[in-house]
Amino acid sequence: MRSDSRISAGALIVAGISGFLASFILTIDKFKVLKDAGFTPSCNINASINCKSVMLSEQAEVFGFPNSLIGIATFAIMIALSVAMFLRVNFPKLFWQLLVSGTVLAVIFCHWLAFQTIFEIGALCPYCMVAWVATLLVLSVGLRELLQIRSDSVTDESEKTAIETIAKWMLPLHILWATLLVGAAFLGV
């Protein structure tokens, strides 16, 4: 296993576990709120950091069921994918292209949700923000892997060096992006 793949697998398992746990806790709390309107989720800190306000909004069920169920499913898949990567399974280029395409849609959805929580709902959900960050990490891993596949097929050394440099900066760039997204959310509420 190349060291780059180990980094990707490590980032993917962090994203998968954190996103899965956040989605799972959010789903459990949603069920508890539906059973008992007086239930206060653990992530209700004040009027601005208030999961309950977010989970009771129509934006929390865009497709007719809790958005967190999507997170449970997709982040579980990311955990399985990271384990496969640690076991040295090599996925083809088409697999990574499909993963990146789906993750780009998920990132767009996360940004829409961030906008909704800040400007429409007026409250933040810490578990949702964990899922947003995890989604950006998944995008980073997919792009890193595609860049590595491209690098392996390039013969020109300067092009290979440029691709590898971009790949190395993918995780820090996405961590910065996630920090700006969460920071903007806190500033906006």
Mean pLDDT over 101-118 rounds to: 95
Residue 175: per-residue pLDDT? 87
Taking the C-alpha atoms of residue 75 and residue 85, their distance in angstroms, rounded to an integer, is 15
Residue 1: per-residue pLDDT? 55
> Please, which residues have CB within 8 angstroms of residue 148's CB and are 6 or more apart in sequence?
2, 4, 5, 164, 167
Mean pLDDT over 110-123 rounds to: 93
**What are the tens digits of pLDDT across the range 12-70?**
999 999 999 999 999 999 999 999 999 999 888 888 899 999 999 999 999 999 999 99
Backbone phi, psi, residue 94, to 5°: -60, -40
Residue 182: per-residue pLDDT? 85
**What are the tens digits of pLDDT across the range 70-97?**
999 999 999 999 999 999 999 999 999 9
Residue 181: per-residue pLDDT? 85
Q: What three-state secondary structure class fits 49? A: strand
Structural domain containing residue 14: 3-188
Taking the C-alpha atoms of residue 68 and residue 85, their distance in angstroms, rounded to an integer, is 25
Listed residue (73, 115, 83) closest to 10, CA to CA = 83
Taking the C-alpha atoms of residue 6 and residue 170, their distance in angstroms, rounded to an integer, is 14
Residue 10: per-residue pLDDT? 95
Residue 4: per-residue pLDDT? 72
Residue 41: per-residue pLDDT? 93
- CATH number, residue 76: 1.20.1440
| Number of domains into which the chain is organized | 1
**What are the tens digits of pLDDT across the range 126-175?**
999 999 999 999 999 999 999 999 988 888 998 889 888 888 888 888 88
Is the model's pLDDT at 2 over the cut of 80?
no
Residue 174: per-residue pLDDT? 86
